[in-house]
Every structure is written in C-alpha cells, then in structure tokens.
Amino acid sequence: MALTEMQNRLANAIRGLAIDGVEAAKSGHPGMPMGMADVATVLFTRFLKFDAANPHWADRDRFILSAGHGSMLLYSLLYLTGVPGMTVEELKHFRQLGYKTPGHPENFHTVGVETTTGPLGQGISTAVGFAFAEKMLAAQFGKKVVDHFTYVIASDGDLMEGVSQEAIALAGHYKLNKMIVLWDHNGISIDGPLTLSDSVDQIKRFQSAGWRAVNVDGHDQDAIAAAIEAAQKSNKPTLIACKTTIGFGSPHRAGTSKAHGEPLGPEEAKLSKENLGITGAPFEVPADVLKAWREAGSRGAGARQAWEERFATLSERKQAEFTRRMDHVRPAKLGKAILAHKKALAANPTAMATRKSSEAALNVIVEVMPELVLGSADLTPSNNTKAKGLVEITPKDFKGRYIHWGIREHGMAAAMNGIYLHGGFVPAGGTFFVFTDYARPAIRLAALMGTCPVYVMTHDSIGLGEDGPTHQPVEHLAACRAIPNMRVFRPCDAIETAECWQLALERTNGPTILALTRQNLPLLREATTANLCAQGAYELAGTGGGKAAVTLFASGSEVEIAMNARSILNQRGVPTRVVSVPSLELLLAQPEEVKAKIIGDAPVKVAVEAAVRFGWDAVIGPDGGFVGMTGFGASGPIKDLYNHFGITAEAVAETALRRHNG
C-alpha cells in the first residue's frame, strides 16, 4: 500500500537527520537508519507505550536498538519525540566528545537509551532479560502495574552472532511473548551481500526455537503496523522480518554495502535528500512534521497518568517496595542478616567448599532480599546456586526466583544485564569460572554499563582436580581483574564468602564475580562486626606485635596454605604476617595510606595463588616471591596437583626463607 504523505514525511525526518548527523561527524552508519525509518516510525508513532517527557516511567515499553551502529536512528527518535536533553545541538555533534550522541548507544550516558549496544548480538540477547523481568515483576506485583512490551530492532549481524541463538532459544522456551523483534532484513553487511557468508532461513530458525515469525515489507507502514498488532496478541515471541533497502532513498548507494558505514558525502547526501523530498537546511525538520513527532512523543502521557492512578491504589507498603526495587535500593535488613550468619558460622566451625558456603549465605540472603533472582547455566548442583525454598520459573509461571538458563553462559550473562536494567531485580547466575570466557562480552558490557549482576563462578582453580586443564582456570583471575569496574572476589572461607556476597549485593555501580572452590576449606576467620573484605584485603594473622620479616599474601583456597607456611616460618624464628586478599583490584583501589598499611613494610613479600602471577607485582613488587601457576593445569586428584605444581606451605616457606636469608 502506498504511504500517506505524512507517513512518508515522518520517516524522512529520521532519514534526513541520519544523513546530516553522519555527514557532520564524517563517520557513522547512515544506511541502517535510512532503511529502518519506516519501521521505526510505525513503532514509535503507533505502538510504543512511552511518554517522552518521563523517559524513566516504570511501565513504559522498552525499545532496544540491537543494531547499535545505527545509533542515529535512536538519537533522531529521541530528539523528534522530545526526550529531555536530546536537542538538535546533540545531533549536530554526533560522535563528538562530551555530547549525548556517542558512536554507539550508551544507556549510562544518554537518557532514553535502555541498554548499551554495538557489539552485535548483545542487544537482542539483553532484551531477553528485559522480557524476563517484565514477566517476573508482573507475576509479583500484578498486571495492573507491570504490563509492557520489549521491542527490538535487530540487524543481519545481530542474528548471525552466536549469542543470538542462545537468546532466541531462551525466549522461545520461556514463551516470552511480549518480546517483539523487528529484523532489518536488508541482506547487506560490510563485506557485501549476506549471500557471501550466510544462507540461514531465519524464519524457520526462529520458528524452530518456538517463535512466531513472519515476513513483511519494511517500507509498507500499514503492513508493518498489522504485523506488530498481530505480534502483540501472540502467545509466543515474534520475529517480524522487515524486508528493507539499506540506505533507502540514496540514488547511488541504496541496497549496497557502501551505504552501511560511511557518510554519503556531500553530493550523494544532496541527491538523496532531493530524491526523498527533504528540503531545508541540515538538521531542519519542517514544523508540521516536528509537531506530529512531538505529539507521538506525548501520546503515552495519558497511559502514564492512568498507570500512576492504578499504582496509587496499591497499599503504601507495596508502593514503597516497588519503588525501592525499581530504584535499586538494597534492603535494609541485608547487613544484619549477614552478620547473624557470620556469628552462626563462627559458633560452629566446619570445613566447607566456598561454593557450599555461598549456598549457606544465599539461604539467608534470599529471605531478606526478594529482588534477588538466582539461576545457573546448567550445573545447578555444582554451583550451589539454588538456595533453600527457591521456586523455579517455568514458561507458565514467573512467580519463582530460580532460572534454569540451560547451557548458555553468554545468553545468561546478556539476559542478566537486561533483568538488571529493566529494574526490580538483582540477578545472580552461575557456571564454572573457566567459562567466564564464554560469557565475557556480556560481562564486559555489565562492567561498562555499571549493571550489578553477580556471577557465581565455581571450580575456581586446579583445585577442581580430575576434570583437568580444560576446566581449570589459570589466567581467569587476572583477565577478570583487568576489566575496569569489575570486582572479583575469591573468598577463603565461609565467613569471607558471606562478606563477599554482602559486598556484591550492596554494589549499585557494577558487577561482581565470586570465584569459589570445589574443595573444602577450613574456617579461618572470626565473625567480626566489620566486613573485613570491604577494603579488598586485611591482615588475617599478625606477628603479635613485633616487626614482620615476611608478609604472605593469598586469596581463596591458598590462604590456608599461607597460614600453614606462616607456622613453618614462625617455627624457624621468622616473624610472619598473613594478609588475606579476597579482592586484589579492590585492595589496589584503596587510598595510598590504607593500601600501605595493609600491605605493610616487611622486607620479604610472597604471594600465593593457584593462578598466574599477572597483577600481583603491584603488591609484592617485581622482586617479590610468587607461588602459583606458570602454565595450564593437569588432570588428577587435587592433592597430587598442588604437590605437582609446587603450591604447598613448604614451597611458600622456602620462597620466603630464600629471600629472608638473602
């Protein structure tokens, strides 16, 4: 069907702004916004439930631009609909430092951006988490206050990335029917036509994963509208394959990879605008078109007010709880519950693997923190993530608090970001520590965005034993510690584990990895009122007053080894302290005087950790001793492995003595 003149002009406003933004920046991606302008116009002017003046309204529909390279599409929409702060000045400074229009959308930088996208595949996978959160929150607070859709614009590249398979399998299995993906089916990527490297039938692929999947002409606005309307009624998630032309309107570049990722250039930009009937100066939107867009932006104001009225009918307690959870304010009772748990542990010291200690802490935490949603990428009995009393989420019932993610570490980590960003939940999910590699791109985005999922990463060293080097992390502590804004904790016993959980859950500006053991560890700590892990490290055993000749530093399972080495050294008359370092990077982030006090000035410093040395020099210095791993592990019983790789109390004492005796 032919577009009405106004439909056309609304879409062309996006095209014009995208052309101008990319021209001004002299870089960027005009093709995708030009191609998807019709689809976006339909979504934003007829369907998306939002109120541009209140971009944080809790029950808004979520819109995720998975194809983040087409960011000018999103910025144009935010400007056209009137989201506060997104002025034309921002568009004119696309991709410039200090403006709200970075190369790829950043949710922590620009109001109205729901999640950071750019790494292809992440947006659609994060969206699964948004859709999960919507269902879970609706199950807990009722449809009266939680009832919205999650819309995604995804590109060919999003669907080619492996993580998208994990995402669509999850959405299909859990019947996340309020997730609607609009696929920019333009058949073009950077290298040329998709046929160079791909022959997947996406419709069949999605259908086989439990989706509804339909084709539509992505330039027929009424057909797109009909497809979205049908999708809203579906009991399955829907893929709408929108056949589009990349760079639509550009006489010489439309339909080619030339339109994908470079400015059209002044001549082609001029010709494209003429072709589309766009007149006026760059960045100028005709007054009647802007007015129509602004009306679209306030279209949802009534729905928001109606929601506020419905929300006000909830009990005051329920309102306060909903607001607390959406604002990510942690429950006041958490600290008290952890302290009581620490005292109980100290009263009955038992050797326990820290994965088991984690479960013990969780049994207490889930009682006081209803927003904590746990799960695991399979391996539930190994990760000990299913705390007492937690009910599983099923496609039919989202009241539970435990998610079986299947063997999908990457999909889980991406969805955990979405769950957190949606609001109302803190997700924690488990797998083996070595498989952080499989989830890394989403973990990195969590750190960048400042979302606060907790990764329960068990089997954290050669200590896992017989499974061998494929499963034994050696470089993972260093690699994860190197991610900015990431916090890695490797607790040494049940009390430290409880403290680390508290710190992880009290964080509101970034994610946490808990690296936990398979093997039993003795209780080494007392139940102090203070959380001793809060500064990343602390003196676990001192010299009893005199000056230390040696300080031993260790994390996790090697703290016990350091304590035994200290006994050996003390017997040899060498006064030795032990500093437990549950978080190396948190220690290094302390103010100089705090750090200096914890590290101390013993002439000999030795660190022991069943991992590579990388990173420890900042504490022990280049001349310090290090007992750990220099290569991959091996398959065998744990005791044999520690002896084989020389990670023993005797070896630590020897390393210290050699330096002490000069």
Residue 64 near residue 123 (C-beta atoms within 8 A): yes
> Phi and psi at residue 578, in whole multiples of 5°?
-120, 125
Task: Say whether residue 375 binds ligand TPP (CB under 6 A).
Answer: no
Label residues 255-272 b or e (16+ Cβ within 10 Å = b): bbbbbbbbbbeeebbebb
Find the part of the chain contacting ligand TPP (CB under 6 A) among 29-37, 298-306, 323-331, 488-496.
Answer: 29-37
Question: Can residue 219 be called a binding residue for ligand TPP (CB under 6 A)?
Answer: no
Q: How far is CA 633 from CA 433, 604, 614, 640, in A?
A: 14, 28, 16, 11
Q: Is 260 in the site for ligand TPP (CB under 6 A)?
A: yes
- The structure tokens listed for 631 are 């290569």
Give the whole-angstrom CA distance, residue 462 versus residue 639.
10
CB of 215 or CB of 590, closer to ligand TPP: 215
List 114, 161, 409, 585, catalytic entry: 409
Under the binding rule (CB under 6 A), the answer on residue 439 touching ligand TPP is no
How many chain residues touch ligand TPP (CB under 6 A)? 20
Shortest reach from residue 124's CB to ligand TPP, in Å: 11
Q: Is 117 in the site for ligand TPP (CB under 6 A)?
A: no
473 binds ligand TPP per the rule CB under 6 A: no
Alpha-carbon distance 456 to 373, whole Å?
Answer: 12
186 binds ligand TPP (CB under 6 A): yes
Nearer to ligand TPP by Cβ, of 37 and 581: the residue is 37
Report how far residue 372's alpha carbon sits from residue 416's, in angstroms, rounded to the nearest whole number: 11
Sole binder of ligand TPP in the list 101, 155, 431, 451 (CB under 6 A):
155
Asked if residue 119 binds ligand TPP (CB under 6 A), the reply is: yes
Contact predicate 432/404, CB 8 Å: no
If one asks whether residue 337 binds ligand TPP (CB under 6 A), the answer comes out as no
From CA 437, how far away is CA 609, in angstroms rounded? Answer: 20
Q: Which one among 16, 21, 28, 31 touches ligand TPP, defined by CB under 6 A?
A: 31
Residue 259 is classified by DSSP as G
Of 24, 188, 214, 373, the one binding ligand TPP (CB under 6 A) is 188
By CB under 6 A, name the one of 18, 40, 113, 120 that touches ligand TPP: 120
- Does position 101 bind ligand TPP by CB under 6 A? no
Active site residue 409: yes
| x-or-dash string of contact with ligand TPP, 35-74, rule CB under 6 A | --------------------------------x-xx----
Q: Which two tokens stand for residue 464?
A: 């896992």
Q: What is the DSSP string of 477-522?
A: HHHHHTSTT-EEE--SSHHHHHHHHHHHHH-SSS-EEEEE-SSEE-
SS3 for 567? Answer: helix
Q: Does 32 bind ligand TPP (CB under 6 A)?
A: yes
Structure-token match 């995720």, residue found: 64
Binding mask 379-408 for ligand TPP (x = CB under 6 A): ------------------------------
The single residue among 190, 230, 351, 391 that binds ligand TPP, judged by CB under 6 A, is 190
Residues within window 495-534 making contact with ligand TPP, judged by CB under 6 A: none
**Is residue 628 at the binding interface for ligand TPP, with CB under 6 A as the rule?**
no
- Which of 59, 90, 156, 359 forms a contact with ligand TPP (CB under 6 A)? 156
- Alpha-carbon distance 181 to 161, whole Å? 15
* Cβ-Cβ contacts under 8 Å for 22 (sequence gap 6 or more): 28, 29, 30, 72, 94, 263, 264
Give the Cα separation of 272 and 279 in Å (integer). 11
331 binds ligand TPP (CB under 6 A): no
Min dist. Cβ of residue 261 to ligand TPP (A): 6
CB 257 to ligand TPP: min, Å:
7
Assess 566 for contact with ligand TPP (CB under 6 A): no
CA atoms within 13 A on the CB side of 433: 31
Provide the CB-side half-sphere exposure for 117 (13 A, CA). Answer: 30
Looking at the Cβ atoms of 73 and 477, the one nearer to ligand TPP is: 73
* DSSP-derived pairing of the beta strands 192-193 and 188-189: antiparallel
Judged by the rule CB under 6 A, the positions of this chain that interact with ligand TPP are: 29, 31-32, 67, 69-70, 118-120, 155-157, 161, 184, 186, 188-190, 246, 260
Give catalytic residues, as residue numbers: 409
